[in-house]
Amino acid sequence: MTKSNSKKYSTILYVALAIFTAMVLRQIARWADAPLDWFCGMIRSAIYIELFIAWGVSLHRRIIQPQVRRYLTSISVLVVFWMTVRTIRYSLDECIWLMRYLWYLYYLPMLLIPLLAVFVALSLGKPDNFRLSKWTGLLYIPTAALLLLVLTNDLHQFVFVFPEDAIVWVNDYSYALGYFLAVGWVVSCTITALVVMLIKCRIPHSRTVLMLPFAPAVVALIYGVLYYFRVPWLKFLTGDMTVVFCLLIVAILECCIECGLIQSNTGYEELFMVSRLGAQITNQENAVCLASANARALTEEQRISTKTQTVSADKSMIVKSQPIGFGHVLWQENVAELTEAIEQIEENCRDLAEHNRIRQENLKTRKKILALQEKNRVSDLLHRETAGQIDLIDRMLAQYDTETDDRKRSRLLGGAAVVGAYIKRYGNLLLIGERTETADIRDLARCFDESFINLELLGVNCLHTLPSDIILATKDMLQVYRSFEAAVETSLSDLQYVWINVRKSKEGLFLKMEFVCDSDLSHLAPMANAFSFEDGAYRFTFKLQGGGEER
C-alpha cells in the first residue's frame, strides 16, 4: 500500500468514527433530560460542522482548476451554513416564528448546491482563465424564484400547507405544488451535473467505477421519498434530514473526485512510478522506498557505492546519486552513445591497416568527441549559471520532507516547480545563445509563459504583453530572464502580481517588469537600467538592443 493510499484510508476511518460518535450522541440526546440533551446536540453539531469545514479546506487544496475549486468551495460553505442554521433552529424552543423561518432558510443551500454542481460540471476540462458563458446566469432565475416562494410561504402557503385550525405553524403541515417544483429542480440539477461529468470524462475507467457517484445520489432520492411519507423507523435511525443530505452531498462529490470525474491534485507517487525517468529513492538504510517503472534493479552494494562515486550498471548505463532529506535519490544515465564512440575508435585501430583510412576514421571519431565535449561544456555552463537555483530546490525539498503543514508543503512544491521551470527555460535560452547572437522575442515569451503557469499555482496573478516578430540580442534576453527570476525568488513567499510589458519609442525598445509584493526588491535595482517604487509596485525597466529589423 502506498503512502497516499494509507493516508486516504486513515482519513476514511477518522470520518467514519466521527459520524458514528455523532450518531451515538443523537440517540443519547433523544432519551436524556436537560441539560444533557442540549449538550449532546451541540457536541454532535460541532462534530459535523468541523468535518464539513475540514472537507472544504481539503477541496481548496486538492482541486487544480480555479473555477472548479471556487464552485466546490462555495458548496462546502453552503453545507456549513445549512448545518449552522439547523443547529440554531433546534436550539430555539420558544420563538416559534423564528424557528419556522430558519426552516424555510434550509432551501437556500438545498437549491443552490445542485446549481453549483452544474456549474462545476460545465467548468471541467477548461483552462485556468475559463469563465462560464453569460447564458448560465439564467439558471439563477428559477433558483431565486423557488427560494423566494419558500421564504414567503406564510403569505400564500404554496409550498407548505398548515391546518386552518392550527394555533402554531410548526410541524403539522402538508406539501403543496411549490414544494414539488423545488424538489424537481434539485433532482434535475443533480442528474444534469452527474451526466455532464460522465460525458466529459476521458479517463479509461470501467463503467462500474464511473457510475459510483450515482450510488449516493440514488440513496438521497430514496431517503427523500421515505422522509416525505414520514416512515416511523426512518425518524428513529436517521431522522435528521439536514445531516443526512449534507453527508450524501459530500459523498457524491468525493465519489466524483475518487473516480476521476473531477480532477484533483494528488497521486504524486503514482506519477513518479510511471514517469520515463529511471530513478529510485532510498532511505538512510539504502532500502528502496520508491522506484519508477524504467528504473533497473540495483544490488545493495551498487546503491551504497553510488554515495561516493558514479557506478556503471552495464556498458550503456551509469548510476549517480544525490542526498535528499531522508536518504538518496539515484538516477540512471544512458551513455550508450559515448560507449559506442569509444568502441568504434578501438575497432578502427584494430581493423584498419591502411594509414589513410585510419586517419579518416580518427577524424570522424574526433568530431564525435568534440560534439560530446561541446555538449558537456554547455551542460557545465548551465550548471554553473543555475547552481543557486538547484541549491534552492534542494533546500525546498528538504524543508518539504520536514514540514507537517499541508498548505506550506503545497507552497514548497509550488516554489520548487517555479524554480524548476526557470532552470529548464533558462537552459533553452542558453542553448540558443550558444548558436546565435540574436533570437525572436517569442523565445523570451515562452520562458515567461512557463514561469507564469507555475506561479499561478501559488495564487500569483501574472500577465505579459510582449509583441511578436521582434528580434533581440540573446544576451539581453538572458539578462532580463535572470533579473525576473531574482525578483521572483526574493518575493516568492508574498508575491501577488507580475506584469511584463515591451514598448517601442523614439529612444529605443524598452521592457518593463512590475512586481507587487511585500518583500523589499530595492536591492535588485542595479540589475535594470531604471528602477522605481510607486503605489506598492516595484518597476524595473530594461533598454533592449534589437538584433535586426522586424520581420
Q: What is the pLDDT of residue 549?
A: 43
Domain-located, residue 385 = no
Instruction: Provide φ and ψ at 316, rounded to 5°.
Output: -115, 5
Co-location of 284 and 248 in the same domain: no
Give the end of a domain, one of 219, 248, 265: 265
User: Which amino acid makes up residue 545?
Assistant: Q
The verdict on 90 and 215 lying in the same domain is: yes
Q: Mean pLDDT across the chain, nearest whole number?
A: 83
pLDDT (0 to 100) of residue 551:
33
pTM of the full predicted structure?
A: 0.52
Let me know whether 299 and 259 are in one domain. Answer: no
Query: Count of CB atoms within 10 A of residue 252's CB?
Result: 22
Residue 272 CA to residue 278 CA, distance in Å, equals 10
pLDDT of 387: 83
% pLDDT > 90, the chain = 28
Query: Domain check: are 330 and 451 in the same one?
Result: no
Is 279 domain-assigned? yes
Same domain, 214 and 284: no
Instruction: Dump pLDDT digits (tens) for 419-430.
Output: 998 888 888 888
- In a domain? residue 325: yes
Which residue ranges in the chain fall short of pLDDT 50? 167, 548-551
- Boundary-marking domain end, from 232, 248, 265: 265
For residue 26, being part of any structural domain is answered with no
Would residue 160 count as lying in a domain?
Answer: yes
**Structural domains in the chain (count):** 3
Which grid cell sits at 306? 553510488
- Both 244 and 106 in one domain: the answer is yes
Residue pair 59/76 in contact by the 8 Å Cβ criterion: yes
Same domain as 172, residue 144 = yes
The reply to whether 163 and 213 lie within a common domain is: yes
* Per-residue model confidence (pLDDT) at position 550: 41
Spatial separation of the C-alpha atoms in residues 167 and 93, rounded to whole Å: 16
* Helix 66-90 vs helix 36-62: crossing angle, to nearest 10: 180
Per-residue pLDDT, 266: 65
Please report whether residue 162 resides in a domain: yes
CATH number, domain of 499, equals: 3.30.565.10
536 is a domain residue:
yes
The predicted pLDDT at position 268 comes to: 56
Question: Does residue 451 form part of some domain?
Answer: yes
Residues 117 and 235 in one domain: yes
Interval 333-353: pLDDT, tens = 777 777 777 777 877 777 766
Of the three residues 316, 336, 356, the one that is the final residue of a domain is 336
- Domain of residue 197 covers 65-265
Taken in order 41, 42, 47, 48, the sign of the CA dihedral is: positive
pLDDT at 75 (0 to 100): 94
Q: Are residues 86 and 122 in the same domain?
A: yes
Same domain, 100 and 232: yes
Residue 332 shares a structural domain with residue 453: no
CA dihedral (268, 272, 276, 282) in degrees, to 10, reads 160
> Cell triple for residue 272?
513518479
